[in-house]
Amino acid sequence: MEVLLVGIVGPIDLVNRIMDQMNIENELNIEYKLFIIKHVEETRNIEQDLLFECDILLFAGQMAYEIYMSSQLINYVGPIPICVHYDGSAIYKTLFELAIENAGQLFQFTPFTIDVLSKLEVLNSISEIGLEDHSFIPLQNEVTYTTKDWADQHESNFMNGSSKCAITCLTSVAKELEHRGIPVKRVKATHASIKSAISILNANIAALLNTELQTTAILIQWHKTDRRPQNKYQYFRTKIAFEEIIIDFCEENQMSLTFINDTQVNIYTNKQMAKNLTDRFKRFPLLNKLEEQIGSNISVGIGIGDDTSKAEIHAEKALKFSNTKKKSCCYICSEYGELTGPLLINDTPPLSFSTKLKEEHLIEISNTTNLSAVTITRLVSLLEHSSTKELTVHHLAEAFDISLRAASRILKTLEQYNFAMITGEEQPPGRGRPRKVYKIQI
């Protein structure tokens, strides 16, 4: 079985503490990759491809975790994120150390500024050493802030006399404030909080090792061309070429297969292998090879399930969507019945969608506009993959692989019921009429 890759993100001292508390002996199926950051905002600069190579990400601090989560696409398949939280015991320990350093004179370091942690978290801890709620100033915390932004807040309060000390959960902020000569104390994760995060990590590892063995069915069809071959032997040559490519593919990856008829084969493997073959369910290279050598369109449906029967049902559901396209494509149906696709050969991520709606507001939109669940959920996925909520008819047509007329109908329907509004026009490259830009409001 392929190994699981666990990424650990944080400053070097905390990453080392986490590694020291882990029992990594005899873990044959697990590898660790370290992402060392000197400044918390560097979390935004870690290459997404490197992070997405991991199956699980363990963040050494809450703000790095929040920065990562704010940049992720909800429907995009990615690593499981886990965070080491600075709980009440970490705050209590920090305040206790400050009290000791100041010979028990609490007024020497109060009021103090504190970042990252919520006001309630701090309140629950300061009562343990007899401090009042006016003894601290919680700072505004935004995921867009840099080390300088946080340090500036602490320094501003200190310089205007509002605080006597800065307490920070951020390693880089503590170093910056020390450099500026501001009294500062850093909150450090306790042994217990790291242990708790490692327990959650181990539970997720166990679950992943189990789910990675789920049955995966890959249904592949080749379609006869509209043109009739000059003779029947051409058909047999195509059939043989298809079979040889499939047999070589399955032999190379040690997968079982069954030819259902002359034009379809069912392949069976596990989820881990399927993930490797599709670059984490983003593209399916075999599709291109088949299309090039067979000379006709190829439809692929990949299904995941707890057993062969469920995997086949999901694969047939995915294949049904592939067959609606007039070109070669591949769709995936997860163990939960959610669809993703079409898998592409470029860097554009596939869209995730469902044939059923669960969220009440999406159900209301579907009922109001009479747009299908597939259309609504694909639109939500498209917006989550985009840096903006503004679309043109051409953007939507390209993303959904539908005609301009169909895309126009969807956007006009959303506009009619106030789920979209025209915000301007976009001039296409070269000559052409300006395109209306719609801001989606769902």
DSSP H/E element including 227? none
Tokens of 271: 């989820």
The residues that bridge with 373 in the sheet, in sequence order, are: none
Straight-line distance from the first to the last Cα atom of the chain, in angstroms, rounded to the nearest whole number: 42
Distance CA 328, CA 345 (A): 11
- What is the average pLDDT across 281-292? 89
Sequence-distant (6+) residues with CB within 8 A of 16 are none
Find out whether the peptide bond into 229 is cis, omega within 30 degrees of 0.
no
Residue 240 Cα distances to 64, 174, 288, 301, 395, angstroms:
54, 68, 18, 21, 40
Binned at pLDDT 50, 70 and 90, residue 74 comes out as very low
- At 265, the amino acid letter reads V
Q: Which CATH number fits domain 4-85+192-211: 1.10.645.10, 3.20.190.10, 3.40.50.2300, 3.90.1300.10?
A: 3.40.50.2300
Most confident of 197-201, 208-212, 427-431: 197-201
Distance CA 102, CA 210 (A): 52
Q: Which CATH number fits domain 88-188: 3.40.1180.10, 3.40.50.2300, 1.10.1200.120, 1.10.10.10?
A: 3.40.50.2300
| Domain at 215-348, CATH class | alpha beta
Cβ atoms 187, 55 nearer than 8 A: no
Torsion angle of alpha carbons 308, 313, 316, 317, nearest 10°? -140
Most confident of 66-70, 179-183, 392-396: 179-183
Pairing of strands 298-305, 215-222: antiparallel
Question: How much is the pTM?
Answer: 0.61
Each residue of 20-47: pLDDT tens digit? Answer: 888 765 566 788 999 999 998 888 888 8
Domain extents for the chain? 4-85+192-211, 88-188, 215-348, 354-440
**pLDDT confidence of residue 430:** 65
Strand order in the sheet with 256-259: 256-259, 264-270, 215-222, 298-305, 329-333, 339-341, 351-353
